[in-house]
Structure 1
Amino acid sequence: MARSTARRRALNTLYEADEKGQDFLSLLDERIAQPGAQTPLPEYAIEIVRGVDENRRDIDSQLNTHSTGWKVKRMHAIDRNILRIATWEILYNDDVPDKVAIDEALNLSKTLSDDAAPSFIHGVLSAIVAAKDKQSPQSTPLDDSDKDESDQTN
């Protein structure tokens, strides 16, 4: 199953739990045990929900830090959970390029949220990526002054 579909299924689970005030993992366990009319959750959807739950404090802190004017608690539940999924992918899943995480979040927001959501989501996620890139150590090539003297020959 495509990762886009898995993201949507993870979003459905996170959104439903959020709306019910239910713990993410307890609803996930219910969906795994009894998928109902839907097909079983894809493995990647399960990984997303578990990852978001495990890192929720940091994810929500990142969202609060990089969101202008909207704290996590005030965001629409669908937007909040789209942002949580993308932030988890950006910060905790090295298999997904940052641009892909942003594009997937924008696609979800364009179909499931209001007209203002895509630009808001893009701004928040771009700020998270910029902060992440700023913190990552940049590798620079060594010049001759950086080499150990024993490596140099006269």
Structure 2
Amino acid sequence: MAAKGKMHERTLARESALALLYSSDITESDVAKIVDEGAYPADDLDLPVYAEALVRGVAAHRDEIDGYLSTTSENWALGRMPVVDRGILRLATYEMVFVEDVPVSVTINEAVELAKRYGGEDDSSRFVNGILGRIARRLEKGAEAVADAGRTDGDVEASGSSAESADDPAGDSACSDASPLDGTPETAIAE
């Protein structure tokens, strides 16, 4: 039951963090400064601790996060993305790359839910899912490369066949067919 409460708290914290990132983007203000000055959009509520950690993390790693997004979102410059979608993507990318205790699949699901609720376009959730799915595959490949670098010639690969891993490193293709960016037809996402 404590895990369920923590999950709900983190969901609310992500919403709060998104509100701050949105406010920062719209006003072109430093998000850390907004937090420090206590200019949290919901003045009657305290900023959740996890939201503050997310916001400060995004601010501290924004260049790296934007690098992930720029190289992953083909044909979509960051400035062309709807502000809310960009905030969701920055938040989720930070969580995927830098927060170790949250599974990537949870981060993607939470981001897709935020996009459904607050996204700037009708297909925001598909857009967010596609970009984050690509980042997840990129991170998985990076983890595999690090693991491969530590192996000796006599080591045997523990996970399935390399063909399976190369085609779908996460073990499922739920994220791979949702991208509107790769020129392939969009397919329905199981919800």
TM bin, normalised by shorter chain, reads 0.7 to 0.9
Secondary structure of the corresponding residue to residue 31 of structure 1: coil
2:44 counterpart of 1:52: no
- How does 1:1-150 map onto structure 2 within 5 Å? 2-31=9-38, 37-113=43-119, 114-136=121-143, 137-138=146-147, 145=154
Amino acid paired to 1:23: D
Q: Deviations over 1:92-113 (max 9, x none)?
A: 0001100000000000000111
CA distance in 2, matches of 1:37, 1:28: 12
Shift of 1:25: 0.8
Shift of 1:39: 1.1
Can you give the 5+ residue segments of structure 2 that lack an aligned partner in the other structure? 1-7, 156-191
- What is the aligned residue count? 144
Tell whether the 8 Å contact from 2:73 to 2:131 is kept in structure 1 after alignment. yes
Q: Deviations over 1:101-138 (max 9, x none)?
A: 00000000001112211111111101111111101123
Please report the RMSD computed on the Cα atoms of aligned residues, expressed in angstroms: 2.2
CA distance in 1, matches of 2:42, 2:137: 41
Which structure is higher in helix share?
1
Q: Deviations over 1:4-54 (max 9, x none)?
A: 00000000011001100101111111227x776331100000000000000
CA distance in 2, matches of 1:18, 1:63: 16
Identity of aligned residues (%): 37
Higher relative contact order (CA 8 A, sep 6+): 1
Tell whether the 8 Å contact from 1:35 to 1:41 is kept in structure 2 after alignment. no
- Which residue in the other structure is 2:161 paired with? none
Can you give the 5+ residue segments of structure 1 that lack an aligned partner in the other structure? 147-154
